[in-house]
Amino acid sequence: MIRVICLGACGGVTGSNYLVETSRGTRLLVDCGLFQGGKQAERQNWEPWGFDPKEIGTMFLTHAHIDHCGRVPKLAADGFSGRILATPPTVELCNILLLDSAGIQEMNAEWQNRKNRRKGGREIQPLYTVGQAQSSLNLFSPVERDQIQEAEPGVKYRFRNAGHILGSSILELWIDDGEGSEVKIVFSGDLGKKDQLIVREPHQVFEADYVFCESTYGNRLHRTFEESKTEFLEAILHAYENGEKVMIPAFAVERTQEIIYVLGEFHRAGKLPDMPIYLDSPLAIKATEIFRKHKKYYDEDSKDILARGHDPLDLENLRFTPKTEDSIAINEKRGPAIVIAGNGMCTAGRIKHHLKHNLWRPGASLVIVGFQAQGTTGRRIVDGADKVKIFREDVAVRAKVFTIGGFSAHGDQDDLLSWVGHFAESRPRIFLVHGETTAKQAFAGKIVDRFGLDVHVPRLKESLLLKAREAVVEAEGVELVEAPTTDTMHNLVVEMERMLRDIKRQIPKRFAEIKDGDHDLERLQFIAEELAEIAREKPAP
């Protein structure tokens, strides 16, 4: 018997983390990411692991995004000393991303401690330090894709290309179930879309007993990439003609490189106005250099550009601004410019300074090219906020906002269905993870309707017992999720109403926050989710 405990990316998009326990007592981890998306989500980073890190022998890391690798330094600081297996680009990207994350953790702790000292409160420690992050990097072991290898006795694995970011991987596991059979479990990691820039499309896997599949965009379709590029050019021209700046909050890994790639395409076609392009992110600058180093992972289109004598990740007006004074100088200069800065959800980093200086200018453009989690500044802007708080100051949203889904490094609903469809003959049980509730429900319905596969949506901390070649999951007190119907949704609403009535009797103070506080939709959602979790753990009498 094999047990998988879902310790992250369930009930939301971030915090990817799965504990795998084999019949021999071996304990493995798949991913160990940060929870992101506001204080409610980030509080989970401080909670107990749910296992002893000292007992983990091997960890598999699907890719280098912080919501998949960001708690590795804490894991190591808490006692993990095993191997972290990942592709060579993933290892190199983690070398810069985890140190950057540690710097943010230290900075946030110091900022909070200054406030606490003024109030006479106690000081706090960062989630982890730069030194702890540096030490954790010694645990990484680079392995190439497409090779079946033994990780532990009775456990074989293979990485396959996930087509999401440089080095991203699908993980195949073959585990001895202790009863003479072998169970194959596939973790999709994050899957890229069709015609992804720079990296090759996701590898198609055809056989499995169980598949853990991401569902970030399980309920929506991206615009075609040609439409996205047209809208991107429109955003650039809007700001250029008004003598203002184009602000692009971008993740340092993949999204930034894709933007540079497309700007280079515009330049070679004579469509790009003569204006400076600033890559205003030390982290993105380092990541871009890693991309340039690993050209063997490029797709054929990128290799063709190289063969024609061009670097797809460079262009004439591109300027790197690694130093703080270089970043400050950007907003001291009037006139049009393109500014690419982190972070991608507008919650930290240099993009906040550019928003403060330019978001209120009607002639400027704000280009959103990535997923915006609930509770983030980027999500509030996308949802139509008239103003947002930046550095504790209200800033009006008057720039023209362009939300361009075609740049997403995630596959959309059709891409995900295409990937899942290759398993149809082997009839695995599908577990949907790494997505918001609405996305998972919509995607579950599509899988059931199109392929007739069994689908289950695990809850956070849910324990799954997996058997060889049996379409059965012994989940602890949780019913399997079927395709959502009108009746299903009605029953869910009725159940939630009953749950909240029960909670009102148990914790009136919490309920008062909903009843009497501000009615910000995202805050209400966070409170409702927390109340629902309390209700599950402590049901009303």
Would the pLDDT of 511 be above 80? no
Q: Which residues are CB-contacts of 32 (< 8 A; sequence separation ≥ 6)?
A: 16, 17, 59, 61, 68, 69, 70, 71, 72, 75
- For helices 508-516 and 521-537, angle between their N-to-C axes, nearest 10 degrees: 160
Q: Residue 67 pLDDT > 50, yes or no?
A: yes
CATH 3.40.50.10890 corresponds to the domain 225-407: yes
- Say what the pLDDT of residue 208 is: 97
Where does the pLDDT of residue 484 fall: very low under 50, low under 70, confident under 90, or very high at 90 and above? very low
Give pLDDT tens digits for 90-147: 999 999 999 999 999 999 999 999 999 999 999 999 999 999 999 999 999 999 999 9
433 pLDDT above the threshold of 90 = yes
CATH class of 2-220+409-466: alpha beta
Spatial distance between the Cα atoms of 219 and 115, rounded to a whole number of angstroms: 42
Residue 473, beta-bridge partner list: 466
Q: What is the DSSP string of 301-350?
A: HHHHHHHTT--TT--TTEEE--SHHHHHHHHHS-S-EEEEES-TTSSSST
Asked if 352 contacts 346 with a C-beta cutoff of 8 angstroms, the reply is yes
Q: Is the distance from CB of 166 to CB of 158 less than 8 angstroms? A: no
* 413 close to 446: Cβ distance less than 8 angstroms: yes
203-230: per-residue pLDDT in tens?
999 999 999 999 999 999 988 889 999 9
Q: Would you place residue 372 in the very low, low, confident or very high pLDDT band (cuts 50, 70, 90)?
A: confident
- Per the model's pLDDT, the better-predicted residue between 321 and 469 turns out to be 321
> Which pLDDT score is estimated for 469?
63
Q: Summarize the confidence of residues 7-34 as an average pLDDT.
A: 95
Which neighbouring-strand residues pair with 401? 366
Residue 196's pLDDT band, with cuts at 50, 70 and 90, is: confident
pLDDT in tens, 248-293: 998 899 999 999 999 999 999 999 999 999 999 999 999 999 999 9
Distance CA 173, CA 187 (A): 8
Q: How far apart are CA 388 and CA 406, in angstroms?
A: 25
What is the per-residue pLDDT for 504? 52
Query: What sign does the CA torsion over 207, 211, 214, 219 have?
Result: positive
The pTM is what?
A: 0.82
The CATH 3.40.50.10890 portion of the chain extends over 225-407
Q: What is the mean pLDDT of residues 426-453?
A: 96
Going through 321-472 in order, the beta strands assigned E by DSSP cover 337-341, 365-368, 387-390, 393-396, 400-403, 429-433, 455-456, 463-466
Q: Which of 457, 250, 289, 483 is nearest to 369 (CA)?
A: 250
- Location of each CATH 3.60.15.10 domain in the chain: 2-220+409-466
Q: Determine the Cα–Cα distance for residues 366 and 397; give it in Å rounded to an integer.
A: 10
pLDDT-derived band at 518, boundaries 50, 70, 90: very low
Please provide the size of the chain in residues. 541
How far is C-alpha 496 from the chain's CA centre?
28
Query: Residue 16 pLDDT more than 70?
Result: yes
Q: Cβ–Cβ contacts within 10 Å for residue 113, how many?
A: 16
What is the distance between the alpha carbons of residues 84 and 82, in angstroms, rounded to a whole number? 7
Residue 3: phi and psi, rounded to 5, are -115, 135
Whether residue 1 is predicted with pLDDT greater than 90 in this model: the reply is no
| Interatomic CA distance for residues 461 and 366, integer angstroms | 38
Q: Which helix (H) or strand (E) holds 227?
A: helix 225-241
C-alpha 519/C-alpha 513 separation (Å) is 9
CA distances from 214 to 3, 141, 196, 218 (A): 19, 25, 17, 8
pLDDT value at 184 more than 50: yes
Query: In the structure encoding, which two tokens stand for residue 268, read together?
Result: 């070679």
Q: Residue 507: is its pLDDT beyond 80? A: no
Reading the block at residue 43, the tokens are: 């509080």
